[in-house]
Amino acid sequence: MRPNYKKIYQDMLRLEYPEKLKEPKIQELLEKLHTTEDVLKFNDRLFKQSRENQKLKTYDKKTMLKLLQYQKKHGHSTSYMSRKYKISRTTLSKWKQMFEEELDHTTKNAGK
C-alpha to C-alpha distances, 71 to 22, 38, 41, nearest whole angstrom: 37, 19, 17
pLDDT in tens, 66-101: 899 999 999 999 999 998 888 899 999 999 999 888
Structure confidence at residue 52 as a pLDDT band (50, 70, 90): very low
Segment 43-56 mean pLDDT: 61
Torsion of CA 16, 22, 26, 30, to 10 degrees: 80
What is the reported pTM? 0.49
Higher pLDDT, 99 or 48: 99
Structure confidence at residue 50 as a pLDDT band (50, 70, 90): very low
